[in-house]
């Protein structure tokens, strides 16, 4: 039976993990913000090789960017462990070079390509996005990548391509969390083709102008800023265009809690907590959750005529 974390609104963290998490055990009754983050996410600055960024654009309304060590030290990446500190702690086992990515399925030009060759096909840009986790916390991140639409155009989907499935590396030696059946491995996520080609959808190879760290999904991951963070599959090895809707990992694990669309919607509660408010990591007080994570003007038209309470 797949793992189904028991989450509470008060901590927005799976209960089974909360009971053994050092950083949440440090929380006092007042829930001091400094104690909410592990020590590894409270100091330091950008590390790693710089990427050739051709342009930078703020798509977060001028909001303050989350610090490097919050972005890279407090992560959901179960393939590297279920504790928020585990991904950074275990990222050394992931070897993002050499690395190949398969683009396959309903495309006229399928290809298996080295990740650095793939990145050389497109100019890289830095985009500052708001990011919202289904656990009711959020961050502001300067991602470096290229629009997925550019890759879609290059491989030329057929008329049968209605969805895109994204699959993470399956290798327990590199991703030790995969040794445990907390989810069905490998991790799979998916988008409709119109979501995939939307200008906001980004293939990401870096953060803060540096090469993407392992804990953030090196060497290549998906970012869809108007959806909850679990849609952003990491350490990708396959991008498959297909006619049928992909069976996605969290939707298989808990279909009443994690829908395929996964749009940020404050009007639709998680079965066990409200999504109406969120806490930006580093802030003490919660703030109202914005529909589509603040990107409604750009993406709401994709869902015209769809009941987003039912299709969550």
> By CB neighbour count within 10 A (0-12 exposed, 13-18 middle, 19+ buried), where does 108 fall?
exposed
The model's pLDDT over 170-215, given as tens digits with 9 standing for 90+, comes to 999 999 999 999 999 999 999 999 999 999 999 999 999 999 999 9
Flag whether pLDDT at 4 surpasses 70.
Answer: no
Q: Strand 124-132 vs strand 53-58: parallel, antiparallel, or unpaired?
A: parallel
- Sign of torsion over alpha carbons 307, 10, 41, 81: negative
Q: What is the pLDDT of residue 265?
A: 97
Range of weakest confidence among 29-43, 46-60, 126-140 = 29-43
pLDDT category of residue 43 using cuts at 50, 70 and 90: low
Flag whether pLDDT at 18 surpasses 90.
Answer: no
- Structural class in CATH, domain 15-303: alpha beta
Q: What is the pLDDT of residue 14?
A: 43
Q: What is the pLDDT of residue 45?
A: 85
> Residues 77-97: what's their mean pLDDT?
98
The more confident residue out of 18 and 36 is 36
Domain-wise residue ranges, the chain: 15-303
Flag whether pLDDT at 36 surpasses 60.
Answer: no
Q: What is the pLDDT of residue 133?
A: 97
> Residues 229-236: what's their mean pLDDT?
98
> Residues 14-20: what's their mean pLDDT?
38
The more confident residue out of 43 and 10 is 43
Q: What is the pLDDT of residue 229?
A: 98
Q: Please state, in angstroms and rounded to a whole number, the distance separating the CA atoms of residues 125 and 115.
A: 17
The more confident residue out of 267 and 2 is 267
pLDDT category of residue 31 using cuts at 50, 70 and 90: very low
Q: Please state, in angstroms and rounded to a whole number, the distance separating the CA atoms of residues 117 and 148.
A: 15
pLDDT category of residue 21 using cuts at 50, 70 and 90: very low
Instruction: Count helices and strands (H / E) in the chain.
Output: 10, 13
> Residues 207-234: what's their mean pLDDT?
98
Per DSSP, the three-state class of 188 is: strand
Flag whether pLDDT at 240 surpasses 80.
Answer: yes
pLDDT category of residue 44 using cuts at 50, 70 and 90: confident
> Residues 253-269: what's their mean pLDDT?
96
Work out the mean pLDDT of the chain and round it to a whole number.
89
Q: Which helix (H) or strand (E) holds 16?
A: helix 15-18
Q: Please state, in angstroms and rounded to a whole number, the distance separating the CA atoms of residues 214 and 163.
A: 27
Flag whether pLDDT at 100 surpasses 50.
Answer: yes
Could you tell me the two tokens for 283? 């802030």
> Residues 282-293: what's their mean pLDDT?
96
| Residue with tokens 């950074």, as numbered in its chain | 88
């Amino acid at each position: 039976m797949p793992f189904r974390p028991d989450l509470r609104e008060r901590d927005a963290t799976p209960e089974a993990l909360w009971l053994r998490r050092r950083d949440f055990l440090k929380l006092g009754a007042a829930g001091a913000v400094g104690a909410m983050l592990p020590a590894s996410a409270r100091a330091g600055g950008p590390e790693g090789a710089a990427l050739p960024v051709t342009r930078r654009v703020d798509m977060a309304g001028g909001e303050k960017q989350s610090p490097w060590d919050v972005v890279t030290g407090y992560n959901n990446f179960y393939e590297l462990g279920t504790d928020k500190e585990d991904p950074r702690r275990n990222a050394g086992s992931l070897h993002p070079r050499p690395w190949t990515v398969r683009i396959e399925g309903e495309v006229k030009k399928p290809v298996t390509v080295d990740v650095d060759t793939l990145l050389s096909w497109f100019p890289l840009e830095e985009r500052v996005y708001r990011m919202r986790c289904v656990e009711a916390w959020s961050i502001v991140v300067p991602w470096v990548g290229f629009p997925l639409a550019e890759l879609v155009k290059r491989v030329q989907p057929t008329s049968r391509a209605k969805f895109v499935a994204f699959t993470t590396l399956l290798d327990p030696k590199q991703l030790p969390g995969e040794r445990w059946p907390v989810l069905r491995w490998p991790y799979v996520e998916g988008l409709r083709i119109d979501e995939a080609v939307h200008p906001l959808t980004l293939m990401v190879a870096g953060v803060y102008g540096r090469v993407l760290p392992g804990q953030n999904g090196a060497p290549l991951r998906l970012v869809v800023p108007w959806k909850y963070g679990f849609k952003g599959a990491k350490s990708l090895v396959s991008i498959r265009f297909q006619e049928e809707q992909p069976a996605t990992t969290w939707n298989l694990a808990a279909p009443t809690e994690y829908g395929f669309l996964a749009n940020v919607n404050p009007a639709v509660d998680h079965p066990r907590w409200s999504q109406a408010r969120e806490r930006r990591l580093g802030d003490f007080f919660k703030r109202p959750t914005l529909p589509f994570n603040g990107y409604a003007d750009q993406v709401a038209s994709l869902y015209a005529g769809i009941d987003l309470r039912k299709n969550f």
